[in-house]
Chain A
């Protein structure tokens, strides 16, 4: 057994209501680490042969919650949620912060694998090796805040009864879904606390399809044994000392972005990306800080940054709305992207997104898309069930958000996410609306535009990523450079927060890996072999796709059409992405990662990485 791992994974079949423990071979752990890498490998081994036929929202999909050896040790604990994605039909490693990963490891598990589906709503309760599938009918239908309160109270009572002698146990950590997940909305999240979410991928819908409302975990053991605890203490301090120096980053988190990313770098979605510039000072970080932030530092296990702040609206129409920050992505997508520029309205919509259990990015993206179609007269008031979807009207967007979460009327169509909704609307209206869909491979693009070149500088940031529009996992050259997807695969597979790597020498996380596992992993080995292997596997599964939509690199390794339109205003007015440059860069990228001119991983590449079976599966795509 490798040091730093609990050594077993909990496996629950909800169809047969059976619970067992699964061990993963050391060789696989060495190559795929944990989290995103390991999830990809497990999914390939179990579902690879029939991948194209697997419906992500049917019982045959597998839902994974995986930690990595760095979880709990590297400051900023997270857990990686994965499975076949109902957004991309590939694999997304979607991480969420909180204590869940740490509690799970302290309970003696490196992860949870959920298969099958339950007939009635259930939740999984884990107290060390004491695991139960519990009735969740009373929690089904509840929003985020109600769900957390009920789970907290239920589990405290349960733990007190079952372990009366311990004294007070801390409340367990929870992952759960809201109404959007229950209704299999493709933009639904797996949530933690009130406001944290594994957003990209749409795994809330997968959890809902399995009728799994939540997982609660309480672990009373230590984190798994490591090779060199003294060295870990030193490394933790190295990360902390770096972060503590960055005072404004700690003070504002990403909450200064709502104004800054628009005004300074012209890369914020404004009215469905029709613009990326605004200079609305009403949206400044000072306004958020002085008017709605009621807690300046909120964080998760071991985190020195505390990028989260708690916001609450105290007066006016939206009084009582509570959320975190909102962080930049929520500020942008549930703000300027909908024509909204006041903190109170933004907090209101973010709070609603939390409560309904969907991703503010994906849902903000699809609502902005719908609003642009309304603006252009393509979707009418009648199409929208009588709603007039005007930019800047927070209350109207709230009505639409609820329709999406409950799949009512037009909401049922938009609940499919921007890409699938665009296909259906285009067919119905006999016009191309895909040109207004700002997404990549079924995943709405994160709130960092590339037209100005001042924020995400690469014209292929979103074109070749194996996680589509995910702004945390973008593509760039060189492959071992700071913008490369291969670096993010480490964070998502070691499973720790990628914010706490900013400004920290890259060597540190590799040193963590060594101090934990006692296995030497050189940066060269990671970038040239291990990360590349995970990337190829994710790429292969993304291209195999199905059963509904599939991606052809020639068509879909591409920016949204909007990014080729010149920016209409601001200091970078006129700037757009250059198509020739994208094509040239793409070929260079294909070469670097070992894909052929059609974007398919080459036989040579795959064989070198020991992925012969993947090569065989890709034969049919090579034509």
Chain B
């Protein structure tokens, strides 16, 4: 288990996701003090029944979202490696969404800024509840030089992979 003083990454084993959405509940309670699925920084998509999975920031090695921001509202946390949003600076232009290969950032439903996983300052609440329940879809690891960007994929791309893994060629009919 990494200490809280160095950059971390949340490893993900998507096929194990039960779709219980406890991660959404924990995340939105922590960040918004409400149960608020669409404001959660981690969101469970289910484009094909059974192929549920959490969709959240993967902290790409080259941080294309940070580079794309025209007003410097995004920065990289030295402590955790997370992308931090300066909510007052953000103009909700959506350029970071388009720059993200997985279209992961999304607008806050009621505020005028984008939301991105901030790794809860090193103590991710989603990992905690996922481990508590024994699903272990999410595991916290040290951030090293690994190809994290591979995990920045759109919900459609991920759904196709998972549905195919589960249902084989038949998945085509459900996509």
* Cβ of A432 under 8 Å from chain B: no
Supposing A167-B106, A171-B47, A302-B25 touch, asked if A240 and B132 sit within 8 A by C-beta, the answer is yes
The CA-CA distance from A170 to B92 in the complex, in Å, is 19
Cβ proximity bits A158-173 to B, threshold 8 Å, 1 near / 0 not: 0000000111111100
**CB atoms of A195 and B20 under 8 A apart:** no
**CB atoms of A300 and B19 under 8 A apart:** yes
Supposing A106-B38, A165-B94, A294-B166 touch, asked if A170 and B22 sit within 8 A by C-beta, the answer is no
B32 partner residues in chain A, CB cutoff 8 A: 222
> Which residue of chain A lies nearest to B39 when distances are taken between CB atoms in the complex?
A222
Q: How far is the CB of B174 from chain A (nearest CB, A)?
A: 5
**CB atoms of A170 and B39 under 8 A apart:** no
A209-217, A303-311, A404-412, A585-593 - the one binding chain B: A303-311
**CB atoms of B174 and A304 under 8 A apart:** no
The CA-CA distance from A125 to B11 in the complex, in Å, is 36
* Cβ of A301 under 8 Å from chain B: yes
Within 8 A of A (CB), among B78-126: 92, 94, 97, 103-107, 109-110, 114
**CB atoms of B103 and A229 under 8 A apart:** no
**CB atoms of B45 and A171 under 8 A apart:** yes
**CB atoms of A222 and B106 under 8 A apart:** no
B43 partner residues in chain A, CB cutoff 8 A: 170
Cβ proximity bits A417-439 to B, threshold 8 Å, 1 near / 0 not: 00000000000000000000000
* Cβ of A483 under 8 Å from chain B: no
The CA-CA distance from A18 to B167 in the complex, in Å, is 41
**CB atoms of B170 and A320 under 8 A apart:** yes
Within 8 A of A (CB), among B6-64: 16, 18-22, 25, 28-29, 32-39, 43-50, 52, 55
* Cβ of A564 under 8 Å from chain B: no
Supposing A193-B49, A244-B134 touch, asked if A168 and B155 sit within 8 A by C-beta, the answer is yes
> Which residue of chain B lies nearest to A233 when distances are taken between CB atoms in the complex?
B29
Contact of A302 among B20, B105, B175 (CB under 8 A): B20
B45 partner residues in chain A, CB cutoff 8 A: 168, 170-171
* Cβ of B147 under 8 Å from chain A: no
A99 partner residues in chain B, CB cutoff 8 A: 21, 37
**CB atoms of A148 and B49 under 8 A apart:** yes
Within 8 A of B (CB), among A302-327: 302-304, 306, 310, 312, 320, 322
A148 partner residues in chain B, CB cutoff 8 A: 49, 174
**CB atoms of B47 and A152 under 8 A apart:** yes
* Cβ of A73 under 8 Å from chain B: yes
* Cβ of B77 under 8 Å from chain A: no
The CA-CA distance from A99 to B29 in the complex, in Å, is 18
**CB atoms of B50 and A171 under 8 A apart:** no
**CB atoms of A106 and B36 under 8 A apart:** yes
**CB atoms of A195 and B110 under 8 A apart:** no
**CB atoms of A167 and B174 under 8 A apart:** no
A170 partner residues in chain B, CB cutoff 8 A: 37-38, 43-46
Contact of B36 among A223, A297, A303 (CB under 8 A): A223
**CB atoms of A168 and B18 under 8 A apart:** no
B21 partner residues in chain A, CB cutoff 8 A: 99, 301-302
Supposing A223-B36, A302-B21, A306-B20 touch, asked if A165 and B107 sit within 8 A by C-beta, the answer is yes
A-B contact count (CB 8 A): 124
> Which residue of chain B lies nearest to A146 when distances are taken between CB atoms in the complex?
B173
**CB atoms of A229 and B34 under 8 A apart:** yes
A103 partner residues in chain B, CB cutoff 8 A: 37
* Cβ of A242 under 8 Å from chain B: no
**CB atoms of B110 and A244 under 8 A apart:** no
The CA-CA distance from A145 to B172 in the complex, in Å, is 12
The CA-CA distance from A73 to B37 in the complex, in Å, is 12
Q: How far is the CB of A42 from chain B (nearest CB, A)?
A: 26
B48 partner residues in chain A, CB cutoff 8 A: 149, 152
A233 partner residues in chain B, CB cutoff 8 A: 29
**CB atoms of A149 and B19 under 8 A apart:** no
Q: How far is the CB of B16 from chain A (nearest CB, A)?
A: 8
Within 8 A of B (CB), among A590-623: none
**CB atoms of B34 and A223 under 8 A apart:** yes
A167 partner residues in chain B, CB cutoff 8 A: 94, 97, 103, 105-107, 114
> Which residue of chain A lies nearest to B114 when distances are taken between CB atoms in the complex?
A167
A295 partner residues in chain B, CB cutoff 8 A: 50, 166
Q: How far is the CB of B165 from chain A (nearest CB, A)?
A: 9
The CA-CA distance from A608 to B19 in the complex, in Å, is 46
A193 partner residues in chain B, CB cutoff 8 A: 46, 49
**CB atoms of B18 and A165 under 8 A apart:** no
**CB atoms of A220 and B132 under 8 A apart:** no
The CA-CA distance from A302 to B166 in the complex, in Å, is 23
A302 partner residues in chain B, CB cutoff 8 A: 20-22, 25
Within 8 A of B (CB), among A500-529: none
Q: How far is the CB of A239 from chain B (nearest CB, A)?
A: 11
Contact of A166 among B29, B37, B107 (CB under 8 A): B107
> Which residue of chain B lies nearest to A310 when distances are taken between CB atoms in the complex?
B50
> Which residue of chain B lies nearest to A312 when distances are taken between CB atoms in the complex?
B167
B174 partner residues in chain A, CB cutoff 8 A: 145, 148-149
**CB atoms of B20 and A299 under 8 A apart:** yes
B135 partner residues in chain A, CB cutoff 8 A: 297
Supposing A149-B175, A220-B38, A299-B19 touch, asked if A171 and B170 sit within 8 A by C-beta, the answer is no
B103 partner residues in chain A, CB cutoff 8 A: 167-168
Listed residue (B18, B132, B166) with the most chain A CB atoms within 10 angstroms of its CB: B18
**CB atoms of B38 and A219 under 8 A apart:** yes
B107 partner residues in chain A, CB cutoff 8 A: 165-167
**CB atoms of A222 and B34 under 8 A apart:** yes
* Cβ of B72 under 8 Å from chain A: no
> Which residue of chain A lies nearest to B93 when distances are taken between CB atoms in the complex?
A165
* Cβ of A414 under 8 Å from chain B: no
> Which residue of chain B lies nearest to A105 when distances are taken between CB atoms in the complex?
B35
**CB atoms of B132 and A244 under 8 A apart:** yes
Binding site for A on B (CB under 8 A): 16, 18-22, 25, 28-29, 32-39, 43-50, 52, 55, 92, 94, 97, 103-107, 109-110, 114, 132-135, 154-155, 166-167, 170, 173-175
Instruction: Name the 4 nearest CB pairs between A and B, nearest first.
Output: A167-B106, A222-B34, A222-B36, A220-B109
Please name 9 pairs of A and B residues whose Cβ atoms are closer than 8 Å in the assembled complex, sorted by A. A166-B107, A221-B109, A223-B34, A229-B34, A250-B134, A297-B135, A298-B19, A301-B21, A303-B18
Q: Add 13 more A-B contacts to A102-B37, A194-B49 (CB < 8 A).
A: A103-B37, A219-B38, A222-B28, A222-B39, A223-B35, A225-B34, A229-B29, A229-B34, A240-B132, A244-B132, A298-B50, A299-B19, A306-B20
Binding site for B on A (CB under 8 A): 72-73, 99, 102-103, 106, 145-146, 148-149, 152, 156, 165-171, 193-195, 219-223, 225, 229, 233, 236, 240, 244, 250, 294-295, 297-304, 306, 310, 312, 320, 322
